[in-house]
Structure formats: structure tokens, C-alpha cells
Amino acid sequence: MTTSTILYIRSSGICLFLTAYFSLFLIASVILFTPFFKTNFEPKPVVNLEPNDFPADYDFINDYQWENTLFLNKSKINILQHTRTGLRWPTGQAGLINCSSLQEVTDLEFVAAGWTKAVYKGKFRGQPVAIKTVNLNGHEFGMCQQRQPETPFSSCYRRAAAKILKELILLTELNHENIVKVLGSCVPDAVGPVVVVTELGEPLDTVQLLQLSWEHRLRLALGVARILHHLAHSPLGSLAMNDLRRQQFVLVDGVLKLSDVDDMGISEPICHTSADCSLHKVYNTTEIPSVNCIHGLCDGYNERLNIWRAGQHFIRQFLPLRAPSSLEPQIQLLLDAYSGVNLWNTQDILSATESLLSTYSTRETLDSGNDDYRKYSDSDLPDTLDYTCSQSESRSGCVHTVNSQYQAVELCNKDIQCQAIVVAPHSVWPGHIRVVFKKGFTTPTMKMGYYLLLKPR
């Protein structure tokens, strides 16, 4: 066989490989490899969460050198400098979803797409799951092909898939009650889409957040504090959430969980002096001192940065809203901490948030001494005891939507006309109760599901 014949055969084989690769992944971006799933669905428009393009001087080749090594990191090799243990390939566990069992996923639906990933939801043996794979319509993949037209399709896919593998490893390493649980993955040895499967959560919607009761939002703030503390003291060292926004979190059975970690920084910034560790540009003030440069790293930089970002994009937007006035001093301390004023670390913030929730829960319990209001079940009072008040939701009575019984009692105590509270069994907003204040008391009438709180004299 001649040399030209060999080259022709080899060239034909490569073309066939790339053609098959392109076709397979193009289909995967729409229906996530049809042979594996039984339910078809209509293609959804891609929603890119990051509208900015790569900078003109972006170095694709060098930037992805370490990410490409993830495909080879099947032993516990330290592939990154400045980490305590290095990222390790997740050890296989019995019961996890794999490439073979992935075909059992049913009811597949498109959820969302971002810069790198496309996310689907489905059911695996009756359990809701989230499925993450490469977004072939995303900026990351598209800009790779645009910037490097000669780069093979497989290389661009490999680079984007490396970020998904990074997320797989991080989610496995960062096992925590407030971080989504990995249920399985598929990383084919040959041609095939890279897939990570996690527990399914509900996205955090701004309107939904504002409609939650204040206690529920306080519990979300506690979840944020726990996540920040865990990232600051993780097995991999102090980690940085470079893209800490509402979209990185989901609610799983009402519990806040971090779900998107592929942009996480896994080392503190490198430095020569403490001047290199300035946080002035981050906080937009010169009043915040820089962290110290210790052994060539900005010690505590990631922790401080995470706190500030969580405050700007999360805590400060929903914690103060409709908060009990009696808790405002404690809440303000937390807000100051998230703005960097009092230089609290994540342990300080976690302790303060736990204390705030404990204080609120203690005062919330009517039976433990909340002004000794007497409760009448399945009871109501006649309309003749209605009166009008400021900020009422009704012109014919004093009607409020509150986040708890405690808030209703607090408002009634401030209203000299209020002598009793009728609590309805339903409300316009989830997590809230609708109450009607009454100016007097008489023999209650029966009304199933309602209950009456009588103000002590």
C-alpha cells in the first residue's frame, strides 16, 4: 500500500469521524441524543444569560489547556496549582445514573440555556432530574468557532464540555445540604455528548422572591450564609463565585441550593505584596482595607468578594422587605456585613443569621408568650365590628396580608382600635396570611378554617 493511499484512507476516516461527531452533537443540542430518550419535545429558543462576547485578545488555546486535562484526570492528580488537594475525578458510586441508564430518562423538556450549558428536565425512574449538556448555540461554543475557524468541531465541543466536567467535579467535591446533589453523569470514552445529571430545582424568580413570606426569605438568607461559609472553608480551599447571581441558585423542596458552579474560581489571587490584594475597585470605596498577601496568595480575598457579591445581587434585595420592625437593628448589622462595612467573615455572618432566625422563631410562637392572645378555632366575628384603617387592602374594613401571625399581632398592638384578629385560611400570595382587624369582640360565629385571635385587655 502506497503512502498516498494511506494518507487518503486516514483523511477519509477523519472526515467521517468529524461528520458523525457534528451530526450527533447537532441533534443532541435539540433533543439530547434522540436514541436515549423516548419523549420528543418542541425546540425552545435559546436564552443566553451572558450577552457579552469574548474580548478581542481572548486566548482560546492557552485558556483551555488546563480544562482539557480534565478529560485525562481519572487518577487523583493535582492538575491545578494553588489548591490544597487539586480537583479529583469523582469516584463512581453504586446507583448513580451513567451512560447506560441515561436512556431511562423520560418526559424530557428544555428548561434554559446559558453561555456554556443547555439544561433539560426529565424523570429518571419517577424521580425529577436536571440534565446539563453543552449548549451548541451558546456564546462559548460559537465564539470558539468564530475566533478559530480552523479549529475542529470536536475541539470546540471538548473545550465547552470541560467546563461541564469542572462543574461535575466541583459539585461532587463540595457536597453540602445547600448545593445540588449530583445523581450521575455520562462522559463517553469515544464520540458522545457529555452529560451531568443533578437533582431538579425550581429557578428563583424575582417576583416569586418578593411574594415569599419574610420568614421564608430569612431562611433563604440562612442558606446563602451557609453556602458562603462552605465555600470559604471547602476541601479545595477558599473558592470564589465569579458569577454570583440569582440565576445560580434553585429551590429544591423549598431549600435554597447552589446549582451553577462552572465559573467558580478555585484559588485566591496571586500576589507579591498586600497592595496587589486591593478590594477598592470591588467595593468602590477606599475605606475597605485590602486583605494580606501571604505566601504569594491574597488570603481571604475570595471570602470577602463572595460576601460582597451575595449582598449586592441577593441579600440586600429581599431581606429588608416587609421585615418586622423589632428586628431592624439585627437586620441592619447583616446588611452592613454584606456591604463590607463591618468586615465580618462568613462565620460571623452565619452566626448572626442563625441568631436572627432564632429570635424571629421565638417571637413567632404565640403559645410562648406573644402577649397572651387567646385563640378561637373555626371562628369569625360579624361585619358590624369592622372599621377602616390606613394601608388597608379594603375600603370596608381593616384588611392586611401579612407574612405570619406574629406580624399580625405586632400590627394589632400598634393599632388602638384593633381588639381582635380574624385569620383567613387562604391568601393571594403563597406563604402569607390574610387578616381582618376588628374593633371589638362578641360571641364568635362558626366559620370552618378561619380562626380568631383575641387581644388581651
Q: Given 149, 180, 200, which residue is the final one in a domain?
A: 200
pLDDT reported for residue 53: 37
Confidence label for 208 from pLDDT (cuts 50, 70 and 90): confident
Catalytic residue ranges: 243
- Average pLDDT of every residue of the chain: 76
Give, in order, the Cα–Cα distances in Å from 121 to each of 1, 117, 135, 210: 52, 13, 15, 25
pTM: 0.65
**Does 176 share its domain with 208?**
no
**Does 313 share its domain with 270?**
yes
Work out how many domains the chain is built from and give that number: 3
Rounded to whole angstroms, the Cα distance separating 323 from 221 reads 13
**Does 285 share its domain with 348?**
yes
Query: Is residue 212 helix, strand or coil?
Result: coil
CATH of the domain at 132: 3.30.200.20
Closest CA to 311 of 302, 319, 299: 319
**Does 79 share its domain with 155?**
yes
**Does 208 share its domain with 196?**
no
CATH of the domain at 438: 3.50.4
Task: Using the Cα atoms of residue 10, residue 16, residue 19 and residue 21 in order, give the sign of their dihedral.
Answer: negative
CATH of the domain at 300: 1.10.510.10
φ, ψ at 74 (rounded to 5°): -100, 0
pLDDT tens by residue, 303-334: 999 999 999 888 988 888 888 888 888 999 99
Average pLDDT over residues 70-88: 39
Greater confidence (183 vs 262) lies with 183
Closest CA to 325 of 216, 411, 430: 411
CB 46 within 8 A of CB 113: yes
Burial of 310 by CB count in 10 Å (0-12 exposed, 13-18 middle, 19+ buried)? buried
Average pLDDT over residues 100-115: 88
**Does 176 share its domain with 262?**
no
Domain range spanning residue 146? Answer: 3-200
**Does 218 share its domain with 302?**
yes
Cβ-based neighbours of 299, under 8 Å, separated by 6 or more: 268, 277, 291, 292, 293
Q: Contacts by 145-152 with C-beta closer than 8 Å and gap 24+?
A: 147/54, 147/58, 147/60, 148/60, 148/61, 151/60, 152/18
**Does 356 share its domain with 332?**
yes
Q: What is the crossing angle of helices 214-232 and 346-364, to 10°?
A: 160
pLDDT reported for residue 429: 66
Q: Which residues pair with 153 in a beta bridge?
A: none
